[in-house]
Structures are given as C-alpha cells and as structure tokens.
C-alpha cells in the first residue's frame, strides 16, 4: 500500500476526483498497524454529484466488547449524507467488506474511548469514486441516451464527428469511473468533401502513375525479354550453321586427299575410273 495514497490525519474533508489516480485512496487510523490512539477521527469524503463512493474496509482491529460490557467501547461507523448508517460496530474484519453509498458524500468515524494507545492495529480502508460523469455534448450535437454504463451522442443532421465522420457515438463506462472514449466536435459534412478533394486528386495521380508503372512491368519488360531470347536463338542457330558448314568442308577436303589403290596402283580420286 503506497504511503502517498494514505491519509493519516483525523478530521479531514477529502475531495475525490472523478477519475484517474486521485479518484481513489486509503485511510488509516494514526498508529496503524502497530496501535491506535484513544480519540475520535472523522473523514468526510465527497465526489461529483453524479457519482457514488465505494468504501472497502480492508482491516478493522479494535477493542472488542468485554465480558461485562454491552456495547463497543471503540467502534467504526460509515454514514451516508442522507443519514443512513452503512456500518457501525467494532467487529473484527479479516476479509474485505465493501460498502456503497447512495449519495455523493459519506463520513467515516473512528471513535476510540479507550485511554492512551491501545495494542491493536486500528482501521484501514480503501475508497473510490464510482460512476462516469456525463461528458457535455459538443456544439451541433446532443445526448440521445444515458444510463450508468452507456452514453449515446448524436450530431445534428448534416453534421458528423470530426474524428470518425459519423453522426452517432456510443461511450462505455469502465474501470468504475472512466469512459472508453471522448466526445469530439461536430462538423459539417460539406467541409469534409472540400477537405478531401485535394487528396482525391492526388490519389488519382498516384493511381495513374501506378498504372503506367504496371504497364511497364506487364508489357514492355516481357517484350524486351522475348526480343533478347529471339536474338539469342538466332545467334545460336547461326553458330550451329557455320559450325556444320565448316565441318562439311573439312570432310570434303579429307576425302579428296585420301589415296585409292587399284591392283597395286595408286590413283587419285579424280582418275579412279
């Protein structure tokens, strides 16, 4: 438990914020958890009129009723501002005990009539504001519906929320006191058309450039590849043709130079008959 959230001093009025870190905190009696002092301590807690307060008693360790006593000598009380008593007693609290106010203000009282420092822990409790405070509707907007969990907002006809370009917005209350979103301004739909006309032209130019690039990839480059393959094949055919022609000439030269022998006489191929 952070000490920065604990309120040690008695007889204080605590203004609890609507949401955020300061929307909750702790109260403990002076001397907790080593002892408590015989005295009266009061804390008045107050929240926004649209909210309630949740009190969670985490630890109550006070002098119990003695064998010859009928009432608590030391006790803790939680009172609503409409004079309803949410709790009053000195019973030991070992597990968290949750109390919810019906108004936006409660008073916590620890009255210790024992003299001096009593060797028990005292009182430790946690408080938190509960409920989301209604956000104001923007100009050209209005609230359609609101309950504890949901708020429905609308812009007037021909107006939309500036961040979503929609007429309606629904907010949800979560974490006891926080909305999941904010309410932005309502603007005319015609202003959206004017604001987005230039980007549309830019998009068209971009699409045109992209189409030209796609044409380059889809038509020109394949055509160049086909031309290169055609030239390469023609070159290969030419090489093969020249190679075969040269081979034929070499064979003819070799045949013309071979001596022929008939009856022991050597004749050239020219007078073989």
Q: 75, 125 in Cβ contact below 8 A?
A: no
Clarify whether residues 116 and 21 are in a common domain. yes
**Do 171 and 92 have their domain in common?**
no
pLDDT of residue 101: 97
Look-up: residue for tokens 């992209």?
210
Does one domain contain both 8 and 89? yes
Are 114 and 176 members of one domain?
A: no
The answer to whether residues 78 and 122 belong to one domain is yes
What is the per-residue pLDDT for 272? 42
103 inside domain: yes
68 and 173 fall within a common domain: no
Taking only the tens place, the pLDDT of each residue in 196-227 is 555 555 555 555 556 555 665 667 677 777 87
Domain assignment present for 55? yes
**Dihedral, 236, 237, 238, 241 alpha carbons, nearest 10:** 130
Same domain as 88, residue 25: yes
Distance of CA 265 to the CA centre of its chain: 109
- Please indicate, yes or no, whether residues 107 and 31 belong to a single structural domain of this protein: yes
Q: Please tell me the pTM assigned to this model.
A: 0.67
What pLDDT does residue 225 have?
75
Q: Is residue 126 domain-shared with residue 150, that is, in the same domain?
A: no
Long-range contacts of 155-164 (CB under 8 A, 24+ apart): 155/186, 156/186, 158/188, 158/189, 158/190, 159/186, 159/187, 159/188, 159/189, 160/186, 160/187, 160/189, 160/192, 161/185, 161/186, 161/187, 162/186, 162/187
Higher local confidence (pLDDT), 235 or 217:
235
Question: Is residue 241 included in any domain, yes or no?
Answer: no
Separation of alpha carbons 75 and 97, rounded Å:
15
The CATH number of the domain holding residue 123 is 2.60.120.290
Q: With a cut of 70, say whether residue 265 has pLDDT above it.
A: no
pLDDT, tens digit (0-9, with 9 covering 90-100), for 180-199: 999 999 999 987 765 555 55
In this structure, what token pair is assigned to residue 198? 């230039």
Residue 265 lies in a domain: no
Mean pLDDT over each residue of the chain, to the nearest integer: 83
The answer, yes or no, to whether residue 238 has pLDDT greater than 90, is no
Residues 180 and 73 in one domain: no
Rounded-to-integer distance, Cα 1 and Cα 209, Å? 63
- State whether 113 and 154 are in the same domain: no
> Domain range for residue 120?
3-130
Least confident of 74-78, 164-168, 208-212: 208-212
177 inside domain: yes
Q: Are residues 116 and 154 in the same domain?
A: no
Q: Give the rounded percent of residues in the chain with a pLDDT score beyond 70.
A: 78
Q: How many domains does the chain have?
A: 2
Q: Domain boundary at 165, 184, 203, which?
A: 184
Phi-psi region of 165 (alpha: psi -120 to 50; beta: other; left: phi over 0): left
Number of Cβ within 10 Å of residue 169's Cβ equals: 22
Euclidean distance between CA atoms 133 and 18, whole angstroms? 7
């Amino acid at each position: 438990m952070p000490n920065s959230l604990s309120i040690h001093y008695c007889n204080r009025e605590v203004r609890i914020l609507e949401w955020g870190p300061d929307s909750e905190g702790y109260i403990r009696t002076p001397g907790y958890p080593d002892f408590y002092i015989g005295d009266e301590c009061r804390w008045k807690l107050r929240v926004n009129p649209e909210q309630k307060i949740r009190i969670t008693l985490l630890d109550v360790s006070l002098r119990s009723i003695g064998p010859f006593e009928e009432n608590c000598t030391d006790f803790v009380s939680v009172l609503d501002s409409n004079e309803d008593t949410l709790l009053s007693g000195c019973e030991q609290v070992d597990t968290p005990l949750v109390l919810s106010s019906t108004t936006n203000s409660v008073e916590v009282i620890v009255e210790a009539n024992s003299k001096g420092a009593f060797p028990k822990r005292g009182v430790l409790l946690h408080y938190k504001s509960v409920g989301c405070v209604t956000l104001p509707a923007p100009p050209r907007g209005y609230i359609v519906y609101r309950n504890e969990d949901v708020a429905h907002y609308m812009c007037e006809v021909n107006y939309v929320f500036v961040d979503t370009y929609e007429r309606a917005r629904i907010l949800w209350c979560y974490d006891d006191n926080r909305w999941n979103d904010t309410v932005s301004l309502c603007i005319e739909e015609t202003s959206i058309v004017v604001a987005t006309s230039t980007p549309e032209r830019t998009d068209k130019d971009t699409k045109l450039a992209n189409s030209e690039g796609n044409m380059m990839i889809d038509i020109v480059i394949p055509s160049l590849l086909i031309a290169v393959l055609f030239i390469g094949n023609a070159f290969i055919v030419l090489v093969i043709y020249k190679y075969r022609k040269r081979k034929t000439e070499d064979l003819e030269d070799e045949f013309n130079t071979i001596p022929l022998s008939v009856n022991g006489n050597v004749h050239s191929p020219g007078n073989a008959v």
